[in-house]
């Protein structure tokens, strides 16, 4: 990620103040995956991640996301086919009631971050407060570690997300989860993995495992800038800088070149999308990914999917879960809408 941004009168003034606190990161283009991984693990890069973590951990406060009435714990799960370990963070109302479930995949361009960061802990509590269970998966990132130290390119993260979903279903009775009401949701790179997971399930005739998809600012295409999507140019450097290629190289450039929809769902064909359960795409006005999100919504409609698209004005990429302290009403509204969608 890049914290450099261009001034925009369209952006909520509260977001300007928070972005200013982060300062700027230099643009970087790498030549190989090894270079991208090395660049992401230099002392300066690690210091930058620690600064980011300190910043987003400010969101993990009771005033923003109360924990009263919630039960929170973690599970360590074996992922297949690699037999590696992944972590699941589970947040739900502290009752024995069988509840609908949000299976949540964190953002970070499939390459970094963790569902255990303060902003995601708060975001999970916001969702669960609306009477649903939340299972957040910490998978193998492609570049920098999550709570799982091991990293790996595509399809490592996707396999981990599928393994976590299958574990959820196998343990739904213990978790007091209604296995017929599981929504897969994610932001940014987590939105990519959510849609890729649905395509993978569609290909293996396992769509019964999910009742819906809710994608926040999904990172679907990987090839930027793109004249067909003006937001990738006009909104570039408002939080995100799409000129860098580290996440694409880290995930596996060959899969972008091959237009593999399991790695980059933007390239999905009608056959990949037909039969998917209802989908909501939530796009943000000042996000570089805004126009590809709207394009993909229309692609879903053309394939016969019951899809809806929300456009949240004045917001940048992943405002809802990245900065709940800046715009708490926007975060709470997004959490409430996701929970309502999951209950239907």
Domains of the chain, first to last: 13-343 (3.40.50.1820)
Res. 34: pLDDT tops 90: no
Cα(168)–Cα(284) distance, integer angstroms: 30
| Closest C-alpha to 137, from 182, 202, 204, 200 | 182
DSSP class of residue 326? T
Check residue 323 and give its pLDDT: 85
Q: Rounded to 5 degrees, what are φ and ψ at 117?
A: -65, 155
Q: Taking the CB of residue 216, how many other CB atoms lie within 10 A of it? A: 31
Cβ pair 40, 142 in contact under 8 A:
no
Summarize pLDDT for 261-284 with one digit per residue, the tens: 999 999 999 999 999 999 999 999
Q: Rounded to whole angstroms, how far apart are CA atoms 184 and 208?
A: 12
Residues 6 or more apart whose Cβ sits within 8 Å of residue 304: 273, 274
- Taking alpha carbons only, the member of 194, 101, 196, 112 closest to residue 148 is 112
Do 261 and 193 meet the contact criterion of CB atoms below 8 Å apart? Answer: no
Q: Is 299 helix (H, G, I), strand (E, B) or coil?
A: helix
- Give DSSP secondary structure letters for 17-41: HHHHHH--------SSHHHHHHHTT
The per-residue pLDDT for 22 is: 66
Rg (CA), the chain: 18
- 2 pLDDT tier (thresholds 50, 70, 90): very low
pTM of the model: 0.95
Phi/psi of residue 44, each to 5°? Answer: -65, -40
pLDDT for the residue numbered 278:
98
Name the CA dihedral angle for 261, 254, 42, 109, rounded to a multiple of 10 degrees.
-10
Residue-wise pLDDT tens digits, 98-129: 999 999 999 999 999 999 999 999 999 999 99
Is residue 111 a contact partner of residue 143, using CB atoms and an 8 Å limit? Answer: yes
C-beta of residue 79 within 8 angstroms of C-beta of residue 85:
yes
49-102 pLDDT, tens digit each:
888 888 889 899 999 999 999 999 999 999 999 999 999 999 999 999 999 999
Residue 25 pLDDT > 60:
no
Per-residue pLDDT band for 18 (boundaries 50, 70, 90) equals confident
* pLDDT tens figures, 129-181: 999 999 999 999 999 899 999 999 999 999 999 999 999 999 999 999 999 99
Quote the pLDDT of residue 23: 55
Q: Give the Cα-Cα-Cα angle 293, 123, 19 (nearest 5 degrees).
A: 70
Residue 112: CB partners within 8 Å, gap ≥ 6?
1, 40, 49, 141, 143, 144, 146
Q: What does the block give as tokens for 117?
A: 């960061």
Window from 32-36, 269-273, 318-322, 336-340 with minimum mean pLDDT: 32-36
Instruction: Check: CB of residue 164 under 8 Å from CB of residue 138.
Output: no
pLDDT band at residue 7, thresholds of 50, 70 and 90? low
């Amino acid at each position: 990620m890049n914290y450099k941004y261009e001034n925009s009168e369209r952006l909520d003034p509260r977001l300007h103040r928070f972005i200013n606190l982060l300062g700027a990161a230099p643009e970087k283009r790498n030549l190989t995956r090894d270079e991208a991984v090395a660049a992401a693990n230099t002392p300066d890069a690690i210091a930058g991640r620690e600064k980011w973590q300190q910043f987003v951990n400010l969101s993990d406060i009771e005033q923003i996301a109360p924990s009263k009435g919630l039960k929170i714990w973690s599970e360590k799960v074996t992922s297949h086919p690699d037999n590696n370990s992944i972590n699941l963070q589970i947040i739900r109302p502290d009752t024995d009631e069988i509840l609908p479930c949000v299976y949540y995949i964190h953002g970070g361009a499939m390459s970094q971050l963790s569902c255990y960061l303060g902003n995601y802990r708060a975001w999970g509590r916001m969702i669960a407060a609306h009477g649903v269970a939340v299972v957040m998966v910490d998978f193998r990132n492609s570049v920098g570690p999550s709570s799982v130290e091991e990293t790996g390119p595509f399809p490592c993260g996707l396999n981990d997300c599928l393994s976590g979903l299958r574990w959820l279903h196998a343990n739904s009775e213990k978790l007091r989860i209604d296995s017929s009401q599981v929504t897969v949701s994610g932001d940014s790179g987590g939105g990519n993995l959510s849609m890729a997971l649905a395509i993978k399930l569609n290909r293996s005739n396992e769509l019964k495992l999910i009742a819906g998809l809710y994608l926040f600012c999904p990172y679907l295409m990987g090839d930027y800038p793109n004249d067909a999507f003006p937001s990738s140019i006009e909104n570039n450097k408002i939080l995100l800088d799409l000129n860098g290629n580290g996440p694409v190289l880290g995930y596996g450039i060959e899969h972008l070149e091959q237009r593999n929809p399991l790695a980059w769902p933007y390239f999905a064909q009608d056959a990949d999308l037909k039969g998917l359960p209802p989908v909501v795409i939530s796009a943000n006005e000042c996000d570089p990914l805004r126009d590809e999100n709207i394009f993909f919504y229309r692609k879903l409609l053309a394939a016969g999917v019951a899809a809806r698209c929300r456009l949240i004005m004045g917001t940048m990429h992943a405002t809802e879960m990245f900065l709940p302290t800046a715009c708490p009403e926007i975060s709470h509204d997004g959490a409430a809408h996701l929970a309502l969608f999951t209950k239907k």
